[in-house]
Chains A and B, each alone.
Chain A
Amino acid sequence: MKKFFIFILVAASFTACKKEESSSQDALGSINIEFDHQIGENSLVTTTEAYTFGANTNVKINTVKYYVSNVVLTAEDGTSYEVEDTYHLVDESQASSLDFRIDDIPSGTYHKISFMVGVDEPRNTAGAQEGALDPANGMFWSWNNGYIFLKLEGSYGDENENFTYHIGGFQGEYATQQNIELSLHGNHLDISDNEMATIHTVVNLEEFFENPVDWDIASQPAMTMPGMSAKTISDNYADMFSVHHLHE
């Protein structure tokens, strides 16, 4: 049923697009949100480079994966364009995943961009999904259904012990979806016909371990279910994104 429905939707949207082209000639452009993982001012080096985050020493990061969804572009007059049904899985180990390209955006001047780190509640209860949301991507809890919104894995300390942070939980008091609004530093994003605007976004992973809470890895090196700790960590990493520059 769902598939048929999607098929009809897709068919309908093709029809809609064609109509637009032939009648009103609405101009559509694209954006590309580039994710640039850093530690402080430097590019993240996975596996080999050892970092110090507060009391956590010899921290090596092996895995960085997270969902970005529900992108919203807002114009100066307050009108906004919501990118629906679009989910992207960023995976540090897959270079192509560091670009989140979104097409068919109505041309115009946008002053704000926001997105969700995580997956909205409806998609956490919608059964088997495809694409970025395919449970085979290893970002879905089989015994306590819901997406893992962010994964950070690696090792720490003198003994190189492993840490495993799987952050998720989509409902109630400990929901961990984080809505991120990016400042464009007074600039604006011009979307014009058949052009692509790029938003170069720095993701400073240091923020995972600090602000507002200094996180001591040794106190809880493994986190694989929703709850208060997951919520705390998600509040920490909510401010790890910042726009470095735009190019159009």
Chain B
Amino acid sequence: MKAKLYIIFSILLAVVACQKNSTSELKNYLFSAPEDFPEPEFEIADVENAKAIFELGRDLFYDPILSRDNTISCGTCHKSFAAMADLDHKFSHGIDNQLGERNAPGIFNLAWHKGFMHDGGVNHIELIAFAPMTNPLEMDEDLQHVLLKLKNDADYNTRFKNIFGREVASNDVFEAFTRFMGLMISDNAKYDQWRRAENGVELDQDELKGLAVFRDKCESCHKEPLFSDFEYRDIGLDLNPEDSGRGQITNLASDHGKFKTPSLRNVMLTAPYMHDGRYATLKQVLDFKSEGVQQSDNLDPDLIRKDGLGILLTKEEKMQLLAFMTCLTDISFTEDKRFHEP
């Protein structure tokens, strides 16, 4: 009797232990909003085979099979060391070595965006990958043809069947992408650790002064803790913006020249700046904000002062802001092996 109980008990223990292991492992592949972030706009539901779906999404992300001539992958222009932006490229090189028309943005904290791409033309997190896949300047591929290529690939064919229990379907491709990219959460910069009072991290004098300037003059659009309100604005880059931006999506003259407020998280890693990558350095960006803003038709009211345009910044304030922005670099995100090319 005792022996039997003992055996049952040890089996139970083993089961519990196993579950614990697999649960903590599984956690790496489930979406979890940081406690101090606002409610996300999109949820990525917990599923049992999250790891397999995530890895499928990762492999698709880094696979040129998504492009017409199998030369360009998402990872070609979105590099993990640059917080998934394309470092040093105003515009990225797409298929046939064509140049894109807008700067490749970083990819992180997507679930908090209200719309995707610089103009918000993509209205749902699940459809992000569809845009570059079909853009003639990027991957120039047809979704139907991508599905065919994946079906004809023995490895993908088996994986899709094993995971989703059916032939390769567009929904399943998008689900894999959503899990892979949606889990790219950046919430562990020096600023975050300081804010959460972790590891005794402190901001130095310049960084603290920079934060104060930031809260006084930048916060209305680059809202903490995501450092964006994800709204669309014309910030007066040009008197007559050539790229209509949001206006192209809504057909409204009042949206002409507006682009989504970019997050400032990891901003040190994502040069060059602006939707068209016109500024190579953050110093240039601050000079523009302070002295270069143009009176465009839809110029954001926050950039209009009684005595002029832009956000007046002293040389010292610019230096302090730069110091603060270094605190938004999240190395634990860029070094997270889950997001790297396997």
Q: Which residues of A contact B (CB under 8 A)?
A: 1-4, 124-130, 134-136, 138, 140, 142-146, 169, 172, 174, 226-228
What 3 pairs across the A-B complex have the smallest Cβ distances? A1-B45, A127-B126, A127-B124
- Shortest Cβ distance from residue A84 to the other chain B in the assembled complex, whole angstroms: 20
Whether B22 is near chain A, meaning CB under 8 Å from some CB there, is no
Residue of A nearest to B248 (CB): A144
| Complex contact A127–B127 (CB within 8 A) | yes
- Shortest Cβ distance from residue B154 to the other chain A in the assembled complex, whole angstroms: 21
Residue of B nearest to A173 (CB): B251
Subset of 29 A-B contacts with CB under 8 Å: A2-B45, A124-B123, A125-B123, A127-B126, A127-B174, A128-B124, A128-B126, A128-B171, A128-B174, A130-B169, A134-B169, A135-B127, A135-B143, A136-B144, A140-B130, A142-B135, A143-B131, A143-B134, A144-B121, A144-B248, A144-B249, A145-B127, A146-B123, A172-B250, A172-B251, A174-B251, A226-B251, A227-B251, A228-B251
- Shortest Cβ distance from residue B218 to the other chain A in the assembled complex, whole angstroms: 30
- A-B contacts counted at CB < 8 A amount to 72
| Complex contact A128–B144 (CB within 8 A) | no
Q: Which residues of B contact A (CB under 8 A)?
A: 43-46, 117, 121-127, 130-131, 133-135, 142-144, 147, 169-171, 174-175, 248-252
| Complex contact B45–A143 (CB within 8 A) | no
Residues of B within 8 A of A145 (CB): 121-124, 127
| Complex contact A1–B174 (CB within 8 A) | no
- Shortest Cβ distance from residue A117 to the other chain B in the assembled complex, whole angstroms: 20
Residues of A within 8 A of B174 (CB): 127-128
Residue of A nearest to B164 (CB): A3
| Complex contact A128–B123 (CB within 8 A) | no
| Complex contact B43–A136 (CB within 8 A) | no
CA distance A134 to B126 in the complex (A): 13
Residues of B within 8 A of A1 (CB): 43-46
A2-B45, A145-B122 known; A128-B251 Cβ under 8 A: no
Residues of A within 8 A of B142 (CB): 138
| Complex contact A135–B45 (CB within 8 A) | no
A134-B170, A143-B121 known; A128-B45 Cβ under 8 A: no
Residues of B within 8 A of A172 (CB): 250-252
Residues of B within 8 A of A3 (CB): 45
Among B121, B124, B125, B171, max chain A CB count under 10 A is at B171
Out of B130, B144, B175, name the residue touching A142 (CB < 8 Å).
Answer: B130
CA distance A1 to B143 in the complex (A): 24
Residues of A within 8 A of B124 (CB): 125-128, 145
Out of A4, A129, A227, name the residue touching B171 (CB < 8 Å).
Answer: A129
Residue of A nearest to B146 (CB): A136
Residue of A nearest to B125 (CB): A127
Among A3, A130, A144, max chain B CB count under 10 A is at A144
Residue of B nearest to A1 (CB): B45
Q: A135-B130, A144-B249 are in contact. List 8 more A-B contacts (CB 8 A).
A: A1-B44, A125-B123, A128-B127, A130-B169, A134-B170, A135-B143, A142-B133, A142-B143
CA distance A143 to B124 in the complex (A): 11
CA distance A174 to B250 in the complex (A): 10
CA distance A174 to B249 in the complex (A): 12
| Complex contact A136–B127 (CB within 8 A) | no
| Complex contact A130–B171 (CB within 8 A) | yes
- Shortest Cβ distance from residue B152 to the other chain A in the assembled complex, whole angstroms: 16
| Complex contact A136–B251 (CB within 8 A) | no
Out of B144, B171, B251, B252, name the residue touching A138 (CB < 8 Å).
Answer: B144
- Shortest Cβ distance from residue A237 to the other chain B in the assembled complex, whole angstroms: 20
Residues of B within 8 A of A174 (CB): 251
Residues of A within 8 A of B169 (CB): 130, 134
CA distance A37 to B171 in the complex (A): 31
CA distance A93 to B250 in the complex (A): 33
- Shortest Cβ distance from residue A215 to the other chain B in the assembled complex, whole angstroms: 20
A135-B170, A136-B170 known; A128-B175 Cβ under 8 A: yes
Residue of A nearest to B121 (CB): A144
Residues of A within 8 A of B44 (CB): 1
Among A125, A127, A134, A169, max chain B CB count under 10 A is at A127
Residues of A within 8 A of B135 (CB): 142-143
| Complex contact B134–A142 (CB within 8 A) | yes
Residues of A within 8 A of B249 (CB): 144
A128-B171, A128-B175, A145-B122 known; A136-B131 Cβ under 8 A: no
Residues of B within 8 A of A169 (CB): 251
| Complex contact B127–A142 (CB within 8 A) | yes
CA distance A86 to B310 in the complex (A): 51
| Complex contact A4–B170 (CB within 8 A) | no
Residues of A within 8 A of B175 (CB): 128
Residues of A within 8 A of B46 (CB): 1
| Complex contact B144–A4 (CB within 8 A) | no
CA distance A128 to B135 in the complex (A): 18
| Complex contact B121–A134 (CB within 8 A) | no
CA distance A2 to B171 in the complex (A): 12
CA distance A34 to B112 in the complex (A): 44
- Shortest Cβ distance from residue B24 to the other chain A in the assembled complex, whole angstroms: 22
Residue of A nearest to B174 (CB): A128
Residues of B within 8 A of A138 (CB): 142-144
CA distance A136 to B44 in the complex (A): 22
